[in-house]
Amino acid sequence: MKYPIRFAVAATLMLGGGGAATAQILPDYMAPISGKTTAAPGDVATKDVIALNTAMFELYGDAAKVFQKNILDKHPVILGLFSGAGGRFILYRPGQPPLDAPQVPVVYQLLKSVGHSTMALAEVVGPYVDNPDNKSWRGPMLAFRTRMQSAIDALDATPMQADWRDNSRTILKNNLGFMDECLASGVIPFAKLEAFGKQQAPFLAKNVAWAAQTQVAHWMGVLADWKAQLGPDWEKTYAASNTIYVARQNNVLFSVLAQFFGPEAINSRLLLIETVSFTTTPADMLESLTRIIADRSVGSLFFGNYHLMDYELMGGDGRAAIVAETAKRGMTPFLPPLVPFGSKQWPTLITPGPGPATIADLK
């Protein structure tokens, strides 16, 4: 019984409480950390109220584990995850272990790697264009040149059809020629870099097209098989794909999923989840999907609309506030059109307009 009392007294001393009598018996070694603390009643009250918001997230985290189990017990779920190998698809079925789809044929990675080698070369020289006094690029370029030559030497042994291999060889040899020119002259004029870009463009365009064809054909086959396996359960299947900002428009994995889910499932059972990195773990994706589905029930409970929570909850009032505030400042508000909760439109840019929209248009 003595220890709890002792610890209580120590805690009181360290917090600077206990009154004048207690303060008189403080040893010297407590002096640096002792002292009477005060807090304004308003500050304490504010913290107590704001703590409710923190508690909400803690409670939601615990509840989400139960929600996720309930969802996976009742609904098949498909995750389409970005990867450097052309994507990863996982099928979760109630009562069964997750099923990983076979990977995209490796030729996809070969085509993409060759294309990226040219882009990487532009990154190497970009900071040093028209800067003859800075030779920092020479070391990285010499190292990259060795890798380029190794790739050219190995190309014939790769599982790539002849015309695709010939195109890839042209790209790699053009890369090598550009590097040798720069290394020989010791400078990187912009005119030389610009000419190199134009030289490579038609060959790169072919590799991009062939890689896309390989990727899409593979995943269309996988999803066709899964849809047949699930049968009637397909109609209650959820699916989600991840994307970063630059990949959200014409996102390949999401677009392939949409062909099988149809327009009515978009933003309902088929979701595009934006992230801040190319790769996202399945656990993080399931957590995001769970949160979206669970929030819908909350929105329906309080406001009578199942898709209300898919939108910024304060967004409508925020629009009204922006309109009011811009009017006060003599400004014209610039806002997107209002769309109804539960809109089925694509979660990417959909308004047509003039200008090129594909690599082919750029010709």
**pLDDT digit string, tens, across residues 196-238:** 999 999 999 999 999 999 999 999 999 999 999 999 999 999 9
Over the stretch 229-278, which tens digit does the pLDDT of each residue have? 999 999 999 999 999 988 888 999 999 999 999 999 999 999 999 998 88
Residue 214 carries which side chain, given as an amino acid letter? T
Give the sign of the dihedral formed by CA 183, CA 185, CA 188, CA 190: negative
Strands 88-92 and 77-81: antiparallel
Q: Tokens 């913290």 belong to which residue? A: 47
Over the stretch 151-190, which tens digit does the pLDDT of each residue have? 999 999 999 999 999 999 999 999 999 999 999 999 999 9
Alpha-carbon gap, residue 113 to 117, rounded angstroms: 6
Q: What pLDDT is recorded for position 20?
A: 45
Beta-carbon contacts of 282 under 8 Å, excluding residues fewer than 6 positions away, are 79, 81, 90, 98
Residue 125 has pLDDT above 80, yes or no: yes
Alpha-carbon gap, residue 350 to 196, rounded angstroms: 34
Alpha-carbon gap, residue 49 to 66, rounded angstroms: 27
> What phi and psi values does residue 182 have, to the nearest 5 degrees?
-65, -45
Q: What is the mean pLDDT of residues 72-88?
A: 95
The SS3 call for residue 103 is: coil
Q: What is the mean pLDDT of residues 36-63?
A: 82
**Domain range list for the chain:** 1-38, 75-104+237-362, 107-212
Q: What pLDDT is recorded for position 217?
A: 97
| Closest CA relative to residue 75, chosen from 311, 292, 248 | 292
Residue 2 carries which side chain, given as an amino acid letter? K
| Closest CA relative to residue 298, chosen from 113, 79, 60 | 60
